[in-house]
Amino acid sequence: MTTVHICPKCEDQVQISQPARLNEIVECAGCHCELEIVALNPPVLALAPEVEEDWGE
């Protein structure tokens, strides 16, 4: 089953497969940002820090 949440960046709907895990990363289909599950009861999504190749110009 999945639950539906709201992307904190673009406010599109984001589906999370349950059971979700804390700190799991999901991708928003609307803005393609990575979202981290920072709480489970109730589930809360936060923008995941970009630590990969997106730094620099």
- Closer residue to Zn ion in complex, CB, 20/31: 31
47 binds Zn ion (CB under 5 A): no
Q: How far is the CB of 50 from Zn ion (least distance, A)?
A: 14
Q: What is the DSSP letter of 29?
A: T
Among 5, 16, 26, 28, binds Zn ion (CB under 5 A): 28
- CA separation (Å) from 29 to 41, 49, 56, 57? 23, 17, 25, 25
Give the residue from 11, 43, 41, 42 showing the smallest Cα distance to 28.
11
Interface contacts to Zn ion, rule CB under 5 A = 7, 9-10, 12, 28, 30-31
